[in-house]
Amino acid sequence: MRTNESARGSAQAEVHAPWGWTDAHRAQHVSVIGATGAVGRELCTLLVQAKHPLERIHALARAECAIEAAGARLSVRALPQTRDGLHAARTQLAFLCTPSEISLELAPALCELGTRVIDLSSAFRMRADVPLVVPEINPQALAGGARLIANPNCTTVMAAMPLAVIERICGLEEVVVVSFQAASGAGVPGLETLQAEAREASGLPVGQRRASPFPAQLALNVIPGVAAVDELGISGEEHKVIAEMRKILGRPGLVVEATTTRVPVERCHSVAVHVKTARDYSLPELIAALRAAPGVEVTDDPHGPRPRECAGLDPVFVGRIRAGTRGARSLCFFAVGDQIRKGAALNALQIAAALTPES
């Protein structure tokens, strides 16, 4: 049993090392590239909250500006455009919170300069030599000492967190995922588009609007097929969920079906998941295992979890856990998580925290 003394000790340790971020991690110079975006801003916020010294947080974006992160003002520098410029600006660790096409060029260049890179785009996720990591699921993928590590797709993370627990308890045979994805999954342009459309729909004045990243109005609507749809009718996001789920769970042959949708929610992705397990399971045991799993929180609310209440929080919330009607091995649940946090910035920080800091 934990004594009061040890409980106090671990509470203090958490204050000083939230998300596993220790003094040794704080000794590193860390770049956040894409710091003005939805994910980059959140990463800066997490670093400030984790007490990373401000002078060792190097925020970069396309152009110079300043951002606010957890009450601190950070200067943002323009990303150098030459190799010499990059060399002069290099740090021990870089988080790339940039579009894939930028990450594709930047990550190898930074690795060559000796920087360890955690990329949040989809550019390298399926490359065999690049670990794709959710620290609660496959931390062993970091053991090889890779210099470039990929953070998974945010929808995939929401489903994978509970699915990894189910895989451990009774195996997975088939997985069907339907997503309900927030506007901010398309970054600042996505969020601002939804906010402007919502104002317009309420008859409120809307200032100058930027181009929408969505193929149709999102406010008061649902848009099926997140990202472009290929000749087989499968969307880019659906391909990512299928392929990345298999890689993270280490199950290349797993049957995964996905339908992705964009919904008029500001923040938090939701997934309805239908599973056929490999072996019979006991529902109380499975729920107990989910309750005990790090990073997962089970809710008993029959109408939860919901994105509005999960925004800004760390766990992936799982509810509506019930046996399905397709036999003893069928199971259904609903999961919600803040995709900018656990689906992106927080997961990336946890990856960095799991690595031995470099001096």
Ligand X SMILES: NC(=O)c1ccc[n+]([C@@H]2O[C@H](COP(=O)([O-])OP(=O)(O)OC[C@H]3O[C@@H](n4cnc5c(N)ncnc54)[C@H](OP(=O)(O)O)[C@@H]3O)[C@@H](O)[C@H]2O)c1
Q: Which stretch binds ligand X (CB under 6 A): 38-46, 201-209, 226-234, 299-307?
A: 38-46
Least CB distance from residue 333 to ligand X, whole Å? 22
Residue 344 lies near ligand X (rule: CB under 6 A): yes
- The correct pick among 31, 121, 270, 299 for binding ligand X (CB under 6 A) is 121
Residue 39 lies near ligand X (rule: CB under 6 A): yes
How many other C-beta atoms are found inside a 10 Å radius of the C-beta of residue 1?
3
Least CB distance from residue 97 to ligand X, whole Å? 5
Residue 337 lies near ligand X (rule: CB under 6 A): no
What does the block give as tokens for 190? 């996505």
What does the block give as tokens for 246? 């298999």
Cα–Cα distance, 2 to 146 (Å, whole number): 37
Least CB distance from residue 66 to ligand X, whole Å? 12
Cβ(335)–Cβ(269) under 8 Å?
no
Least CB distance from residue 354 to ligand X, whole Å? 18
Residue 315 lies near ligand X (rule: CB under 6 A): no
Residue 31 lies near ligand X (rule: CB under 6 A): no
Residue type, 233: G
Cα–Cα distance, 243 to 239 (Å, whole number): 6
Closer CB to ligand X, 67 or 289, in the complex: 67
Cα–Cα distance, 80 to 88 (Å, whole number): 9
Nearest to 115 by CA among 31, 27, 20, 43: 31
Residue 339 lies near ligand X (rule: CB under 6 A): yes
How many other C-beta atoms are found inside a 10 Å radius of the C-beta of residue 326?
13
Residues 61-120 that bind ligand X (CB under 6 A): 61-63, 79, 97-100, 102, 120
Cα–Cα distance, 255 to 252 (Å, whole number): 9
Residue 16 appears among annotated catalytic residues: no
Choosing from 154, 170, 268, 310, which is the catalytic residue?
154
Closer CB to ligand X, 134 or 286, in the complex: 134
Residue type, 159: A
Residue 310 appears among annotated catalytic residues: no
- The correct pick among 37, 305, 307, 337 for binding ligand X (CB under 6 A) is 37
Cβ(314)–Cβ(350) under 8 Å?
no
Residues 156-215 that bind ligand X (CB under 6 A): 184-185, 187-189
Count of residues for the chain? Answer: 359
Cα–Cα distance, 218 to 296 (Å, whole number): 29
Q: Which residues bind ligand X (CB under 6 A)?
A: 34-40, 61-63, 79, 97-100, 102, 120-121, 154, 184-185, 187-189, 339-340, 343-344
Active site residues: 154, 269
